[in-house]
Amino acid sequence: MAPTYFSKRNLHFLLHEVFRAEELARYPYFSAHDRETINLALDSATYIADTLMYPYLKDVDRNQPELKNGQVTVHPKIREFLKAMGDAGLIGAGFSFDHGGQQLPEMVSSAITFILMAANNGMMYAGLTSGAAHLITSFGSPALIDSYVPNMLDGTWQGTMALTEPQAGSSLSDVTTSATPLPDGSYKISGQKVFISAGDHDAADNIIHLMLARINGAPSGTKGISLFVVPKHRPDGQGGFVDNDVQSTGVYHKLGQKGVPAMHLTMGSNDNTIGYLLGEPHQGLRYMFQMMNEARIGVGMTAAAIATAAYYAALQYARERPQSRRLNEKNRLDAPQTPIINHPDVRRMLLFQKSVTEGSLSLLLEAARLYDISEAAEGQEKEDAFLLLDLLMPVAKSFPSEMGVQSVSQSLQTFGGYGFTEDFPVEQLYRDIRITPIYEGTTGIQAQDLLGRKITQKGGKGPQLLFAEMSKTIREASTHDELKPYAQQLGTELKRTQDVVESLMPHALNGDTERYLADATLFLELFGIVVVAWQWLKQSVVAKQAMLTQNPQGDELAFYEGKLHTMKFYFHYEVPKTLGLAVRLKDPEVLTIVTEKELAL
The catalytic residue positions are 440
Q: What gap in Å lies between CA 524 and CA 399, rounded to an integer?
A: 9
Beta strands in 257-323, from DSSP E residues, in sequence order:
262-267, 274-277
Q: Tell me the angle at which helices 426-433 and 292-320 cross, rounded to the nearest 10 degrees.
A: 160
For residue 510, the tally of other CB atoms under 10 A from its CB is 10
Query: Does residue 91 contact residue 278 with C-beta atoms inside 8 Å?
Result: no
Query: Does residue 402 contact residue 443 with C-beta atoms inside 8 Å?
Result: yes
The sign of the CA dihedral 232, 235, 239, 242 is: negative
Q: Which phi and psi (to 5°) does residue 244 adopt?
A: -105, 20
Q: What string of DSSP letters covers 167-186? A: TTTT-GGG---EEEE-TTS-
CA distances from 168 to 65, 172, 212, 287 (A): 25, 6, 12, 19
Q: What gap in Å lies between CA 447 and CA 404, rounded to an integer?
A: 17
Facing residues of 66 across strands? 73
The sign of the CA dihedral 30, 35, 40, 41 is: positive
Query: Does residue 515 contact residue 590 with C-beta atoms inside 8 Å?
Result: yes
Q: What gap in Å lies between CA 211 and CA 177, rounded to an integer?
A: 9
Q: What string of DSSP letters covers 458-475? A: HHHHHHHHHHHHHHHHHH
Q: What is the DSSP letter of 337?
A: P
SS (H, E, C) 313-328: HHHHHHHHCECCCCHH
Which among 265, 308, 355, 322 is positioned nearest to 113, based on CA atoms?
308
Q: What is the DSSP letter of 23?
A: G
The sign of the CA dihedral 585, 588, 591, 597 is: positive
The sign of the CA dihedral 579, 583, 586, 592 is: negative
Q: What gap in Å lies between CA 551 and CA 558, rounded to an integer?
A: 12
Task: Look up residue 420 and give its amino acid.
Answer: F
Q: Which phi and psi (to 5°) does residue 182 adopt?
A: -115, 160
Q: What gap in Å lies between CA 11 and CA 355, rounded to an integer?
A: 14
Cα 28 off chain centre by: 27
